[in-house]
Structure 1
């Protein structure tokens, strides 16, 4: 049975992530797993002495975490009757526990990020960055305050609604290294939501073809047309595989990160890729994905690929 795991620490952003994960699990007919790692914060307040927790604080934090998990499970069950929910509390630190979950039978890992508002977007914490940089499964980051209505178009009166059509799914596509797993994730998400898939490829003629492209107007137009044809060529087989998905492709001049952040204002989800690093230690997030994570105003799915 497919499963979605959400890291839960009781913070507003993690609770928003749990709500998002529950909606996604219901849509996928997947199990939902709520995971709390003992290293997560915030927990019950305490005063350490010489770096050692005061007596009883570990037991108090565990009791608090167990109650938080129960209350979250109860609330999600009330909002999503029939959803299969499991909870897990572990003594591990957050990063290794979440990475282990993402390496097991979880098909999607969902984390919260502290929202700074729809203009400035996410403030991504160290735990989220560490997990995104090393996870073996797609990771979705959800900002605090994210609601079901934010994923949908306004109703006929202009008001917020959770029953209207979904806003676009936005895919950031790099024509230099288009990856099937990233493209498939975006198409499958758009198909499940019956949403438009908006594909954004940002490019700089001077950076890609040399400064001559920026100096010669005719060459610039020719290269722009070549880029659009390349985008169509990459997407054509995917359109054949997903004939019910409406695709709107954009080859835009300029920073891809900036264009994706702009597109996120009207999106239900932004999908970007992260190239796996096969080093023994650590991982990294590319500059485009890093910028989107910091500034997008919609949830962001980061899909790892080779």
Structure 2
């Protein structure tokens, strides 16, 4: 990250500022704020007016200029109180059709170590059955037992293709699905998250696929030692999944104790996802495609 006023990998930003996304560090002034996406090819996929979100949507803007090898993003919203743009945070492009593969060159370089040492591997930004086949083929070239795969559902494509992803995953069980709610909320819109996570749970329950409920579970308790009322309710919903992922923090033991008590109290009032099931829009849209 480059930028005037940068301090230990972070820089202050405010509404109206301009941030550059670039694959190189050349042709910038010392005052410019420049971010470098991890993967090559992202910049060329961006168009004027498309939204860009940084740090799980904490900072949002739109592409305001496109030049050779770089684009400018005008900041329209800064939700964090201090307004720090930090190094290493994720960037989402919900309006853009990115051409980069889900299985990157870096992933392929890591695969020998992963297959040798891991029991389970998470597959980020999986979008199509072809992505699953590419990973499966790459793992077949490695000797020894293969780790199980958890497909992280975090893009509109992965939601729309969920039935096909599950069918492809059934060819090489066991596997699981993660509702990666951080990126998913930014990609599909926060207003749709409740609806979509319920549908993912329903479809996976019908297919006997285990689900990981991820992102910000009891996060305020983990960071400060005091939970919010809303995250207690959210933790109760997490009991609908087979596995719950918590983030790192200073209060892990209280988080585990609270989560255990919440789940013991809520699980006695229902059996998994045995609710009155309405129409599943993901499945309907999947089967109505041309």
Q: Which structure has the highest helix share of the two?
A: 1
TM-score range, shorter chain: under 0.3
TM-score computed with the length of structure 2 as normaliser? 0.28
